[in-house]
Amino acid sequence: MLTLRMPMRWVGCQADDRNHIPRVVLAAARLVAGDVDAARTAMKDALRITPDVTDREILRLTGPKIGKALSREIAALRG
């Protein structure tokens, strides 16, 4: 069983280093858990894999409330 207490790079992220989607979802889970630093780290990793990930895609993966928060993090990371 997966829990939020598992190491940040759990199976979904380890299985494919070419796919940003598990990292976006992990960032959302970390943000919901209140771990902003871990969420930011997961988003950095997602951006490393897919630098042009869009706000629309993030909203579709995570829902509007968390998606908007992650989009703000991405904007800050992109500068």
Confidence (pLDDT) at 68: 94
Domain layout of the chain by residue ranges: 15-78
Write the burial class of residue 31 (CB in 10 Å: 0-12 exposed, 13-18 middle, 19+ buried): buried
Return per-residue pLDDT of the chain as tens, 79 residues: 445 555 555 555 555 678 899 999 999 999 999 999 999 999 999 999 999 999 999 999 999 999 999 999 889 988 8
Distance CA 46, CA 24 (A): 6
pTM: 0.78
Let me know: does 26 contact 13? Beta carbons within 8 Å. Answer: yes
Neighbouring residues of 39: CB distance < 8 A, sequence distance ≥ 6:
27, 28, 30, 31, 70, 73
Structure tokens at 56: 């629309």
The H or E element containing residue 31 is helix 21-32
